[in-house]
Amino acid sequence: MQPRRTLRPSIHRYPRKHPADHSPDTLGPLCDAANDAAKREVAQWFLFLLVMLVLFTLVGGTSHRMLFLEEPIKVPVLEVNLPLLGFYWVAPAVFLLMHFYVLAQVRELARKVTAYLTAAERDANGNTAAFLAHRHRLDIFPVVGMLANQRLGQPGIAMAAMVLSTLAIMPLLLLVFIQVQFLPYHDVATTWWHRTAIALDLGLLWWLWPRSQSGARWRRWTLRAVGGVMTGFVVAFAFTLALIPEEFLETQADKTMPVAAITREFLFNGPLDEVSRQRTSIFTRSLVLPDENFLTAEEQKKLSELGDKAPETGFRTRVLRGRNLRYAILDRADLRYADLTGANLSDAAMINVKLTRARLDSAKMQGASLTEAQMQGATLLGVDGWRLHGRDTATNFARLGVWFEQRLMREQ
């Protein structure tokens, strides 16, 4: 009894000849369908890359000053200014939809290319030259090349790297970049949306990424294992490292995973450079704006014109009511006549900051450093943590002319 022979997917290992199942007339429509889909996908691919490049530019151009002042984002081509919060909500949503559409089209393209290559393999009947001739009829789009190389059992590293980088790695990096760039703003709802977008994009990649059934099984499982490890790294970064200071996830992660706290300190909470007063870490979770002048030339001119009458007119330079500015570095910043009512300035570094005539009513200032702060005429009605002047003796509120209502003084 002769041993049973097993058919292999590679054309180089067919053990015996058999009649061709597909004629050239049958292969032609399959090839045309695959090439038509590839041509459509090329245009969508270039548009996707363009949008991704624009978003990288816009997000990378979002400075800490823009986050602090909530300056709008100017979108090129459309020539519109989107509100800062609106942009950081809309941009991930639009990008997710585009990525979903592109991946869905890539999956459909992969189905058509696989159908053609299967038919071409059978038509070649074990003839390598004939199969290669059929393969060269396909479009040169990188996705097509990657699938064809997988079918041939060839590595095709360059093609695979191009496809993976543009359709998987860079999209995920963009969404993570969006989360990291916006993190110092300290808006929990928006940051959770960014984390959700990252999780959804990972789901899209696992769902829609074209899977090859050819090649060695160990190679396929190795690639999936690598994909699983990379997914774990992205999820860990988004949900345990890139966190708003003292939010719920941080307290829970630090209790269960002490290594997360150590890694977070290294990546986000590096010490300040003594010269530049900037963090030495790769990222930061708080606004770093030392020596910033937040008064425009027009505001300075108006202040000089009003003189001592400015407080009576209710003049304000910047309105930062209710903002979360925890751990912000505002040393020597000019915030005269700013409205910081209800702002959270806990643990903020505000050495020699100019807060003349600023409104700090109901602000939270526990642990804030106000050494040599200029606060003449500033109001601190109902401030939570107003006793910090006893902890920071370098700031003499009486000398600076800060006044409190009688009801606040009774709370002392």
Residue 392, pLDDT score: 47
Does residue 187 surpass a pLDDT of 50? yes
Residue 403, pLDDT score: 42
Residue 394, pLDDT score: 45
**Closest residue by Cα to residue 299 from 309, 310, 290:** 310
Cβ atoms of residues 363 and 340 within 8 Å: yes
Cα 342 from Cα 307, distance rounded (Å): 27
Coil, helix or strand at residue 298: helix
The whole-number average pLDDT for the span 376-380 is 86
pTM of the prediction?
Answer: 0.84
| 75 membership: H or E segment, kind and range | strand 73-75
Distance in Å from the first CA to the final CA of the chain: 101
The string of pLDDT tens digits covering residues 120-156 is: 878 777 777 877 777 788 888 888 888 877 777 666 7
Cβ atoms of residues 57 and 178 within 8 Å: no
% residues pLDDT > 70 (the chain): 81
Cβ atoms of residues 219 and 227 within 8 Å: no
The string of pLDDT tens digits covering residues 270-284 is: 888 877 777 888 899
**Weakest mean pLDDT among 177-191, 224-238, 304-318:** 304-318
Q: Six-digit token pair at 229?
A: 């490890």
Contacts of 273 (CB under 8 A, 6+ apart): 279, 280
The whole-number average pLDDT for the span 63-85 is 91
Cβ atoms of residues 249 and 243 within 8 Å: yes
Cβ atoms of residues 337 and 320 within 8 Å: no
Neighbouring C-beta atoms of residue 342, cutoff 10 Å: 17
